[in-house]
Chain A
Amino acid sequence: MTSDAQEKRVLLQGNEAIVHGAMAAGCRFFAGYPITPASEISEILSVKLPEAGGTFVQMEDEIASMGAVIGASLAGVKSMTATSGPGFSLMQENLGYACVTEVPCVIVNVMRGGPSTGLPTNPAQGDVQMARWGTHGDHPIVVLAVSSVSDSYTLTIRAFNFSEKYRVPVIILSDEVVAHTRESVILPDMDKIRIVDRVMPSVPPEWYKPYAFNNRSVPDMAPMGEGYRHHVTGLIHDEKGFPTQNPQEIEQFNIRLHDKITKGFKELLITKSFHMDDAEVFVIAYGSVARSALRAVRDAREEGIKAGLLQLVTLFPFPRKAVDTALRQCRAVVVPEMNMGQMSREVARVNQAGCRLIKHRRIDGQLITPDEIFKHLIKA
């Protein structure tokens, strides 16, 4: 990583772009376990990390990978892992630990067909609700969905930034199509990329409270070994980090965990609008399906239909306001997904305006085509 880095156009695969994004964001630790279709991320990082003074380790399973990622982050190094459905299932335990101990980390889930071993080489979007609710207990989490190689780069940087700023695990949902598509992307000048780092305590060690309340609801984070000795536990803890059974402290802790995310809604809730200004019918899509949707919308426009696309980049926290506004504006919404309707449930939940909801599912391991969505738009 030298300072001469400048804007450059390159041909990359989605998984490769995630690696470039992670390196640019300052990720210097990766622990993972081989799995299709995410393995390229491990392979490329095993080359790039040591070149930049970082560390790559292949652990004995995904449980261990997630543990090592959290450990490295506690030691002060930006860390990530990458996996697919079966591995993501194993990571849920320690993912919850990262949520409750507020350890920044990024988890890439390149979605493949499920359930279980499912369809290792086919795309799917079946892990959407799992990304939100996979680990037990009420917990805050941020889930971003990438739809292109370019997205894979920029959103990985944003994922690290969010993770550091809010001390929350951030999940990047990719899928087999995005992961293995090669596209030309522009990698920006490194100097122009905004990199966010966790806030270090500014008080002397004896005053430091690792889980102190503050305006941002995000406590300052001291790495291990720098004099700020403190306790980290998955038990619900007080401001000093010690386990508590005090109902008031427990409630305050849980509220703060969610508050910190709510306070960041303005930047956390990312959506992209295409042709929405005068839209009467629209599509809500995310991931690779958003690309088919955009094509379908453009085709519908050519037929004189006032169609639009609201692409969800942030899936969770659910961008309720943007969705609600569009639902109030339009008479019908098409929600195409490569699952049984995991996101359309969220749309139905916030649909107060009586907008007609048309679900479109595809669960045969194939990408939804523009034509499938177009057919709904012309009938809507």
Chain B
Amino acid sequence: MLEKAEIIRQEYLRHDKSFPHVWCPGCGNGIVMGALLRAIHTLQLEKDEVVLASGIGCSGRMPTYVDFNTIHTTHGRALTFATGIKLAKPELSVITVMGDGDSTAIGGNHFIHAARRNINITAIIINNSTYGMTGGQYSPTTPYGSKSTTSVYGHVEHAFSIAELAVTAGASFVGRGTVYHANQLDHLMAKAVKKRGFAVVEVISNCHVQHGRRNKLGNAVTMINDFKERAVPIQKAVKMAPEELEGKITIGVLADVEKPISSEEYRRVAKSAELKAEQIAKDKDKNGVKRYE
């Protein structure tokens, strides 16, 4: 294990100007980054072929630290940039990393449309139930009744279930894990990156500094242990009643389906358009008609 960690450190981290990182001690983002790097290492992807795109927030800093083609885009827009990259250069493995507010508030429209469009992109979503970087305001996944810097009297809205949202919107693969279940995360991420089609991994993570502190959830260790207590594997969850699942975190693979990938479908129809245009050009040349294009 230590040996592998050293390989990952040497091979995948940027050793020039990008450290020290911005994340607080105990932050779950490092666990997510580790899982992603181990997955990429396991899949033996070439670093030149990997694109890691992020939005804004604590999660948005992840690409800075890793030695791929990396892009830190605008808030909520990582998937739009990723779509352009993937369509323009389909041979690249395009992965996005986003936060909960990033992907389902400001970027919510892009998220559901990326799932519907089913382009071959992997979306890692770190869900820590708050806007950590800006100071702990409530996000689309802040639980009902929770305190945040913009809901000091208790939050009155209900939270999104990101993984379920992705399933409904049409993603080919959807997994959910927590930063406690690090080994499972490695597997979920490897499956997602390998998956042909839009693949989502939602990772339940801790922001003990903002969300945890304001809701008396304890320190990083307490919060991460709590994920262990609340996690229910999907195989078990499907047999449970909705009341029993209240407050639980369903983990595992929520969806894994085969369906046409729009980026590949597009190349197929584009190829036929190209061939047709070539044929028309040939015919015109035969008839002595000069054409402009």
Contacts and interface: CB of A to CB of B under 8 A. Distances in A.
Interface stretch (B88-96, B203-211, B249-257): B88-96
Given A59-B80, A67-B77, A225 B292 contact: no
A29 B84 contact: yes
A20 to B, nearest CB: 8
Contacts of A232: 70-72
Interface stretch (B194-202, B228-236, B268-276): B268-276
A4 B286 CA distance: 13
B110 interface: yes
A61 B293 CA distance: 31
A240 B15 CA distance: 12
A115 B67 CA distance: 45
Nearest to B280: A51
A67 B84 contact: yes
A232 B68 CA distance: 11
- Give the secondary structure class of B's interface: helix
Contacts of B63: 231
B146 interface: no
Given A55-B87, A225-B91, A234 B73 contact: yes
A233 B92 contact: no
Interface residues of A, number: 62
Question: Interface range on chain B: under 10, 10 to 19, 20 to 34, or 35 or more?
Answer: 35 or more
Interface in A211-250: 223-227, 229-235, 238, 240, 242-243
Interface string B77-105: 10111111111110110000000000000
Contacts of B82: 71
Interface in B240-288: 266, 269-271, 273-274, 276-277, 281, 285
A167 B77 CA distance: 21
B77 A224 contact: no
Contacts of B11: none
A57 B266 CA distance: 9
Interface stretch (B36-44, B47-55, B176-184): B47-55
Nearest to A242: B17
B89 A2 contact: no
B58 to A, nearest CB: 14
6 contacts: A50-B274, A57-B83, A64-B80, A71-B80, A74-B81, A229-B69
Interface of A: 1-2, 4-6, 8, 10, 20, 23, 28-29, 31, 47-55, 57, 59-61, 63-77, 79, 93-94, 97, 187, 190, 223-227, 229-235, 238, 240, 242-243
